[in-house]
Structure 1
């Protein structure tokens, strides 16, 4: 408690020092004052006394702290932010998937492929952020390598695609403001789910249906998709591909379509089986900012509708 009081008493003056961007406390014994600086220089280091309020100081070069914008170019980028094929607008990167030890980026087919009903693409470039958000060929982060073709006259279970990243250094496995999934699960009616996406960030919605078949308007064609999760509305355009988790941080699916009142989600089980992949998971939750628990506080039930469009 004494260390916390020292920090609170000093932080206003410390943060006024040019080049200092933060102050914190270590968890070591004895505790140390961590002084975060944008760039560590001998001149700046001299401005920070070795002892303040009876606590030793440690100067850490952190860089400049900036708010994470889901539509910005981020390196490395987390899951749940803007991404897209070079010839589309923008969608959301879902999760990191693993197959035979190789990592892939997972999103919707209509995010990673200009025409998800096609069997081939001329260009395979996937950029972060998506082109609508300023992404250019210089922002390429991977190549689309596989997608489940959506057939207008057939039965479809998923709108999903895989991209092979250019490097593991380009991304992190955390879902922005949520964490890394700890497993995979199926859901039940009335359960509250959470998604993290490019446009609307972290939102929640109650499950209304776990075995829906809907007609989806893809602009140039329509298709029926089956065995879907339907929730209250929790997504907008650009949220396609958003990862969805339950309250225990289990990956349950990808947002892919929505209407004025509802959101449609492809089930994780159907996606992983289609590609023979696994979701990258951790043995325990990693939560950021308490966003998950706050969203579970409440959710309003909405009435149903029928026609849906990809987000």
Structure 2
């Protein structure tokens, strides 16, 4: 389909079925008759939480239906709208939700400075080797504010997601700030100490981070971030040199970085790994939940970049 045709169908779907809140009266005789085609379609959309127009691998535009069902029955929709089988696809995914207050704190939730209108992702919980306290790990560019250490309260959720002072979980503690005049290895920061309850199990996984591991080329990985949720990818490089442009247009040089190609859960079909807002999320080996990296940038399409976690932990003097 052309983009214009796909958008036309998407709007009709939303208007007639997806956003339709009608309550149809049910009569006893209804159960003796075959359901109307429109009723079948209406029932199917009860399982759908997103209707998208996406670009397929073949270059055409298709309608994507997102649900938690890995085998969504879409034949009645194809027939009702007179579509080809290739015009519509279903994708299994977790439901979207607002970045709400999370208590206990959990990996992958929204965080940011109280005095700034930005935020990112809580990567994981770490323990300071020197004082033994618990802290959260994220990026410098997520947690830092010109307010400095003393008054830089970190809130969950971030102010951009409605966070207020009563949502403070700790203070900005220290970071490894990228240097525009040098070559960098890290973009990382700590906040805390954390005295409230922490949920250390990874959302949608149900088990904690199991340890720290060095990345390898070809390793299958995933992350949980506030923008794109749980996504998957394959490590394509583990010693990359990068030039990264920050929000002010300053070019920062990085060395010894992990580059990840985003994929769907099959680890072969290309897809996004991260988008803006996912900064600070941790990268974990698929199947083992071993921690390998801290995500800090991407190009908005298939490729994302992460700091190596082992040398980062050494630099920050923290452990799991």
Please give the TM-score of this superposition, normalised by the length of structure 2. Answer: 0.62
Q: Does the CA contact (< 8 Å) of 2:133 and 2:194 recur in 1?
A: no
Aligned to 1:236: 275
Residue 121 of structure 1 deviates from its aligned partner by 4.8
Counterparts of 2:296 and 2:98 in 1: how far apart (Å)? 18
Residue 74 of structure 1 deviates from its aligned partner by 1.3
Aligned to 2:290: 250
Q: Secondary structure at the match of 1:194?
A: strand
Pick the aligned partner of 2:304 from 246, 257, 263. 263
Aligned to 1:104: 135
Q: Whose RCO is larger (CA < 8 A, sep 6+)?
A: 1
Q: Secondary structure at the match of 2:240?
A: strand
Q: Does the CA contact (< 8 Å) of 1:158 and 1:270 recur in 2?
A: no
Alignment partner of 1:128 is 2:156: yes
Where does structure 2 lack aligned partners over 5 or more consecutive residues? 1-94, 263-272
CA distance 1:103–1:166, shift in 2 (3 Å): closer
Counterparts of 1:138 and 1:68 in 2: how far apart (Å)? 25
Aligned to 1:19: none
Residue 70 of structure 1 deviates from its aligned partner by 6.2
Output the aligned Cα RMSD. Answer: 1.9
Please give the TM-score of this superposition, normalised by the length of structure 1. Answer: 0.63
Q: Secondary structure at the match of 1:174?
A: coil
Aligned to 1:94: 123
Aligned to 2:74: none
Aligned to 1:198: 226
Counterparts of 2:178 and 2:225 in 1: how far apart (Å)? 22
CA distance 1:70–1:276, shift in 2 (3 Å): farther
Q: Secondary structure at the match of 2:200?
A: strand
Alignment partner of 1:225 is 2:257: no
Q: Does the CA contact (< 8 Å) of 2:126 and 2:319 recur in 1?
A: yes
CA distance 1:231–1:166, shift in 2 (3 Å): closer
Counterparts of 1:232 and 1:126 in 2: how far apart (Å)? 31
Counterparts of 2:307 and 2:201 in 1: how far apart (Å)? 20
Counterpart mapping for 1:1-311 below 5 A: 69=97, 71-86=99-114, 87-100=116-129, 101-114=132-145, 120-121=148-149, 123-169=151-197, 171-178=198-205, 179-220=207-248, 221-233=250-262, 234-247=273-286, 248-259=288-299, 260-279=301-320
Aligned residue pair count: 209
CA offsets 1:191-229 (integer angstroms, 9 cap, x no match): 111101111111110111100111111112221121111
Counterparts of 2:150 and 2:244 in 1: how far apart (Å)? 25
